[in-house]
Amino acid sequence: MSALTNKVAVVTGSGNGIGRATALALAAAGASVTVSDLLVDDGERTVREITDLGGSAIFVETDVALADQAENLIAATVSAFGRLDILVNNAGTGGTSGRLHELDPAEFDRVINVNLRGTFLCSKYALPHFLTQRDGRIINIASTYGIVAAPEAAAYCASKAGIIHLTRQMAVDYGPDRIRVNAICPGYIDTSLGRRASSMSVLEIVAASARREKAAGMQPLGRQGLPAEVASVAVFLAGDGASFMTGSILTVDGGCTTTFNYGEASN
């Protein structure tokens, strides 16, 4: 029997990158998975990849910043699979670059709404199910930029720092109910810039990739991570091997937060 057999998981932002890898890894460990994304084609592709490998998955199009859609995501999962055991709050956005006084307030709000409010909303609607079961696992995908600051990324840094402290606070509130809440902070992960590339020129993509490669080369392991390397940590946190872990903030960053050569590109 696989480690997560008979468990049900929701993974937000799972059409690409870390979210997609996490959905696939949870399914490989035996969980049924709800794939959630704004990009329908990408989300449905992830579902096909899971089902082609013999797993069980559905897709629910969701904007996690909207309360009714977050609520529907959880309700649709329970309707399809009969329960919910694992929530991975992965959906996020990087936002535009610029110093704080240059930021449009609407852009700041957008980043906070997707990254931090989305984590709050999906957790809010998942928690009643966990409370009924007296068991549940929430895994929040934050960022090393929630631990250390980065140039011209005020909204992103603030949102990810908020996720880290929300993780700790939720661990305090829900630990007595046997609900574990932990966070993963990825560093430079090779996601081929994911969905951001669709709005970038070829020159911008090349320049951004070069910056990330340069920054990743400065860290102890000297390379970018792979989405699967983050996903494997999420699977561990979802399983019984992490049964005495809550409120933990795990970096998966090649050692980049241990060095001074940091902040060359956004994760």
Helix (H) or strand (E) holding 36: strand 32-37
3-state secondary structure of 16: coil
* Neighbour tally for 148: CB within 10 Å: 15
Is 156 catalytic? The answer is yes
3-state secondary structure of 250: strand
Q: How far is CA 20 from its chain centroid?
A: 10
Sign of CA dihedral 191, 144, 262, 150: positive
Tokens in use for 184?
């993963």
3-state secondary structure of 245: coil
Report the first-to-last Cα separation within the chain, whole angstroms.
Answer: 36
Helix then strand count (H, E) for the chain reads: 8, 7
Q: Are 42 and 11 in contact (CB under 8 A)?
A: no
3-state secondary structure of 83: coil
List 156, 174, 188, 262, catalytic entry: 156
Helix (H) or strand (E) holding 60: strand 57-61
Q: Which active-site residues does the annotation give?
A: 156
